[in-house]
Structure 1
Amino acid sequence: MVRPLHQLLIAGLFVLASCASNAQTIAPTPTAIPSDPALEEPTFTVEMGTVERVVNDTVSATPVDSSKLGFGRDGVVSEVLVNSGDTVAEGDVLALLQQTEADDILRKATDELDVAKTEYAGAKESNDKLIVLKRRAVATARKQLEDILPGGKKDLLKAAQKDLDAKIIAARNTQEDGVITVEDAEYAITTATNTLIDTQFAYSKAYWHVDWVKRYGTDPLEPFIWFNMKQVPNYLDDEGKRTYDKALTAATDALRSAERAVSAAQRAFTRAKETRTTDTETANDAVETARELRDALLAGEDNPDILAARDALETAELELSMAENNTFKTEQKTLDAAQRAYDKALKDVEGGRLVSPRDGTVSSINLIPGNMVSAFSPVVEVADPSQIEFQANLGTEVMKLLSEGQSAEIRPVERPDLVLVAVIRRLPAPYGKDGGAVTDIDQSTRFQLVDTKDYLLEANARGKLSIIIERRENTLWLPPEALRKFGERDFVVVRDGAMEKRVTVALGIRSTERVEILSGLRAGDVVVGQ
């Protein structure tokens, strides 16, 4: 196979030599020599180094402190009073909508509100005068009633009042006596209970003495005695045993008596409470009866003059109450409607004026006279140009990996050689602490520069963002094109001299240029790429 190939090459050289003499008229045509396919396969060497997982994105410079402004209503732009880059102060009018119709409505609403306020004030003033008159009428009617009420010493009214006072005192004494009786009964329960506890203890002691005598036959209080210089059991005779039996019987009787005493004390306590309730109700009924008698005399049911004076007083008091509780519903309703119309008209007029809420510089403006604008759509931005930071709209999966305070690098598009160190100042909710609410319109991630390196930043400048999510040093790595995959298995083809074999590998951190090798390879291994 080699010899024919050599012969073919020699023949080709003769042909080229013969054609060289005619080079001025015929251009030589190169002949492609097929190369060995094995030589075209790339190879990679497993190396030790650093592998980083990096997030890359685009950022833009924006003021740290800015306000996006919009009109308070829909309308047509009438005047634009500022340009981008202008310095403005708080309260400056930046732009106006066409206001002719809104101004007319506001003037009409103002006039109607003034009329409603005048009518309300007049009604209130008249009612205040009426209240003064009604108070005088009440005072007069009360004095007339007091003047004609009986006031003699033998007057039945005084006797009824005296009886009522006595009944009230008696009811109070009955209530107090009942409380004391109940407390005494409750204390009797406590005393009986304590006695029961003592008798229970005495019974228990007597019971166990008898039990001891039955078990051992000795005296439970002195089980042993000395006899002939020896300690011997102190056995009881029948009389001694009966003594302890009698003591148990007496303790049993005392216990039953103490238990009955507790039950009796409890019954007495219950009866005391019932008696207190009954006596108190009886005393209170007596008070109410005496009060009804006194009130009947006080009302003068038997005296037409007293009845007439009382009716006059009640009428005067009712008229005074009506005057004092007058809410001026009709006038108030008219005033409220006029106030709402005025507030709406004023809001429409103010909504047609775009006013700066702060000192700053107009960083952007999107207004042209004659164009329609929508309510609350941002059309002007006023910011503090002295403080600039970068912002980026990152994906949710990326933001889950970040945290506020994390370092980042930014390369301005105009100066790709300059690396600016920054930190994440704010992540939007719910990923950061200071990101506001999830429903906030601004869902950008903000980056604060640590050092501008004297680079002059301007709003809307672009940059390339790099954030290291994960970093591993002194680890094995290969480029992604050296790796292969079959199903869920990651493997490489390792070349060892003329031999090649497949080796399963475990992978760690991945980046666009390097993939960490956790196991399966060693430094210096040669891997055949795809």
Structure 2
Amino acid sequence: MKKTLNRLSIPGRFSLLMLVAVLVASCSLLPSTRQTTESAASNDAEPTPIPTPIVAQKPMYTVARGDVVRRLQVTGRVVPVTEQELFFRSSGRVKAIYVKRNDTVTKGQVLADLEMPDLERQLESAELALDRARSVESKAEASRDADLQRAQINLEAAQLNLQLVKLQDPTPRQKQAEIALAQAQLARDRAQGAYDEIAWRGDVGATPQAAALQQATMEYEKAQAAYTLTMQDLAAHKYQVQLQEQQVKLAQLAVNTLAEGIDPLITNDVARAELEVKRVQAAIEDSQIIAPFDGMVMSIVLTEGRAAEAFKPVATVSVPGEREIAAELRTEEMQEVTEGMIAKASPVSSPGKEFEAIIRRLPYPYGSGGASAKVQEEDKTTRFTIADPATIQDYGLGDLIRLTIILEERKDTLWLPPAAIRNFEGRNFVVIQDGDAQRRQDVKLGIKNEDQVEILEGLEEGQRIVGR
């Protein structure tokens, strides 16, 4: 401080001394003023007490007994029972639109198509090729019919010839030839004996015995020749039978071949032409929207001359009159329901009204919906049919319907509000108010909803529970 004062000039020191003097004079006045103020305050008002902090009261709950129901609530819309989105299977520019919204259509009717001049020319060419192939096939079949008839006649003739040849069997003549030969030999032997008896005579050559021997010898040779011819005929007959049997086989083969049909190459040409026509027709159908069933056009979003994208829905056709409810459920919700479960339906536009609905179809893989459908045609909505179809006829397509499905229900069970249940590291417990004391109690929980939690173990009816 001294060093500071030393550094100040004489005027500066004077100013500092004056400031100190003023401060000292002011302080001398303070005690008198404070005493006056305190005296006045003590006479005019009571002292203000310090406020006591307010402790928040925790809610208390009583363990009750009753029914606990776990419900699933979703919102759906009134839709036709039979409804299908339609689309082109190829991209292109819209050529023509043949229907409008609310038009009645029949199965197979073309609703719209794309420009496809190349396909139309290909179809015309393929149909001409098919006509030519069928013409060749028809002529071949007509010729085959005549050839088959001719072959059948030849077969019958060959069979008759075979029977005729078999009837001409020379076996009986063999016996006749053998007998004739034996008789001729016997006659010759007798003539030879008679001749031998007079052979000593000088004129034996002129005797009747010599003439008889000569005649008997010729008859024997004739019989022997006849026997030889008969044996030859017998051998030849066997070959004739075999030859005629082969003729029958050839005739039968011709019949069988013709009976199989015309040349397979001709049939293949027709089949190939038919496949080409079907291929082009399928390509044309991909460029068309065709009604899949008799019904009504619910919507069509197309403009002639504008481009259309393949597999993008542009029209909807449904069967009028038949209605149900469609709702989109989350994956975890679909895992909890099954087809056939009952739901309570309440129209948003008519509060208080309720009617019964039944889950008719869940989307694949949770139910039967879409299991065999193509990916582009798969319906991901859950469908609810109405127990009394007349009930839903009062509501228009698109009207909102609230659906309540009972998933689980416990009758006459203990329960608490969710705010009474505490959890720490997976442990469920409550705080029981027992007189002035509190104690913790582990509990086993059952089903729950927004307002109730079922108590399976750990508590008794009427116990007071401190809420969170």
- TM-score grouping bracket, smaller chain normalisation: 0.5 to 0.7
AA partner of residue 424 (structure 1): I
The match for 2:308 is 372
Q: Which residue of 2 aligns with 1:190?
A: none
Task: Check conservation: 2:127, 2:277, Cα contact below 8 A.
Answer: yes
In structure 2, how many angstroms separate the alpha carbons of the residues matched to 1:462 and 1:388? 13
User: How far did 1:457 drift?
Assistant: 2.1
Letter in 2 for 1:390: I
**Using the alignment, how far apart are the partners of 2:122 and 2:299 within structure 1?**
33
Q: For the Cα contact (< 8 Å) 1:407–1:421, is it kept in 2?
A: no
Answer yes or no: is the 8 Å Cα contact 1:495–1:528 preserved in 2: yes
Change (3 A) 1:342 1:489: same
CA distance in 1, matches of 2:90, 2:234: 69
Paired with 2:160 and 2:143, the residues of 1 have a C-alpha distance of 26
AA partner of residue 100 (structure 1): P
What is residue 197 of structure 2 aligned with on the other side? Answer: none
Q: What corresponds to 2:172 in structure 1?
A: 154
Letter in 2 for 1:442: D
Unaligned segments of structure 1, at least 5 residues: 1-10, 19-31, 159-296
1:482 to 415, 420, 424: 420
2: distance between equivalents of 1:436 and 1:494?
Answer: 50
SS at match of 1:358: coil
The secondary structure found in structure 1 opposite 2:61 is: strand
Q: What is the aligned length?
A: 361
| Residue 378 (structure 1) shift | 4.6
CA 1:132 to 1:487, structure 2 compared with 1: closer, same or farther past 3 Å?
same
Corresponding letter in the other structure for 1:371: A
List per-residue Cα deviations over 1:39-93 (Å, max 9, x = no partner): 2533334344442211122322211233443446554432223333333344543
Q: Which of 326, 333, 342 is residue 277 of structure 2 equivalent to?
A: 342
Q: Partner residue of 1:502?
A: 440
Distance of 2:381 and 2:163 partners within structure 1:
82
| Equivalent in 266, 289, 297 of residue 331 of structure 1 | 266
Determine the structure 2 residue equivalent to 1:243. Answer: none
Residue 445 of structure 1 aligns with an amino acid whose one-letter code is T
Q: Is the 8 A contact 1:409 1:466 kept in 2?
A: yes
Identity %: 29
Structure 2 equivalent of residue 446 of structure 1: 383
**2:33 counterpart of 1:44:** no
**Whole-Å Cα distance in 2 between the matches of residues 145 and 54 of structure 1?**
92
In the TM superposition, residue 380 of structure 1 has moved relative to its aligned partner by 2.5
Which string of whole-angstrom CA distances, capped at 9 and with x for unpartnered residues, describes residues 231-281 of structure 1? Answer: xxxxxxxxxxxxxxxxxxxxxxxxxxxxxxxxxxxxxxxxxxxxxxxxxxx
Which entry has the higher C-alpha Rg, 1 or 2? 2
**1:463 equivalent in alignment to 2:398:** no
**Which residue matches 1:420?**
354
- 2-structure distance, mates of 1:358, 1:475: 53
1:98 aligns with 2:115: yes
User: Could you tell me which of 329, 341, 355 is aligned with 1:394?
Assistant: 329
Aligned with 2:398: secondary structure? coil
Structure 1, residues 116-140: CA drift from partner, whole Å, max 9, x if none? 0111122222233333444444455
SS of residue in 1 equivalent to 2:146: helix
Give, in whole Å, the separation in 2 of the partners of 1:521 and 1:425. Answer: 38
User: Counterpart amino acid of 2:280?
Assistant: A
Distance 1:430 1:398 in 2: 13
Q: Distance in 1 between matches of 2:327 and 2:175?
A: 93
CA shift digits 1:186-235 (9 cap, x unpaired): xxxxxxxxxxxxxxxxxxxxxxxxxxxxxxxxxxxxxxxxxxxxxxxxxx
Per-residue deviation, 1:326: 5.2
Q: Which letter maps to 1:472?
A: R
Give distance in 2, aligned partners of 1:461 and 1:89: 27
Distance change >3 Å, CA 494–CA 122, structure 1 → 2: same
What SS does structure 1 have at the residue aligned with 2:172?
Answer: coil
The amino acid of 2:275's aligned partner reads: R
**What are the residue-to-residue correspondences of 1:504-523 with 2, within 5 Å?**
504-523=442-461
Give, in whole Å, the separation in 2 of the partners of 1:450 and 1:116.
58
3-state SS in 2 of match to 1:96 = strand
Distance 2:411 2:175 in 1: 108
Partner amino acid, structure 1, of 2:172: K
Contact 2:170 2:237 in 1 (8 A): no
- Report the Cα offset of residue 492 of structure 1: 1.1
* Counterpart amino acid of residue 421 in structure 1: F
Shift of 1:522: 4.1
Q: Distance in 2 between matches of 1:524 and 1:383?
A: 57
Deviation at 1:505, TM superposition (A): 2.3
SS at match of 1:342: helix
Match of 1:115 among 106, 122, 132: 132
Displacement, 1:345?
2.2
CA positional deviation for 1:418: 3.8
Contact 1:405 1:423 in 2 (8 A): no
- 8 Å Cα contact 1:388-1:458 kept in structure 2: no
Q: Does 1:410 align with 2:345?
A: yes
Change in 2 beyond 3 A, CA 1:69/1:300: farther
Distance 1:319 1:356 in 2: 52
Aligned-residue Cα RMSD (Å) equals 4.0
CA distance in 2, matches of 1:155, 1:444: 98
Mark the CA change 1:448 to 1:151 in structure 2 (over 3 Å): closer, same or farther.
closer
Helix, strand or coil: the match of 1:60?
strand
| Partner residue in 2 for 1:57 | 74
Letter in 1 for 2:381: S
Alignment check: 8 A CA contact 2:355 2:391 kept: no
Aligned mates of 2:321, 2:242 — CA distance in 1: 87
Deviation at 1:518, TM superposition (A): 3.3
Q: Distance in 2 between matches of 1:157 and 1:111?
A: 74
- Return the alpha-carbon distance in structure 2 between the equivalents of residues 302 and 401 of structure 1: 93
Alpha-carbon separation, structure 2, partners of 1:361 and 1:384: 6
Residues 40 and 119 (structure 1 numbering): CA distance in 2 closer, same or farther, change over 3 Å? same
Q: What does residue 290 of structure 1 align with?
A: none
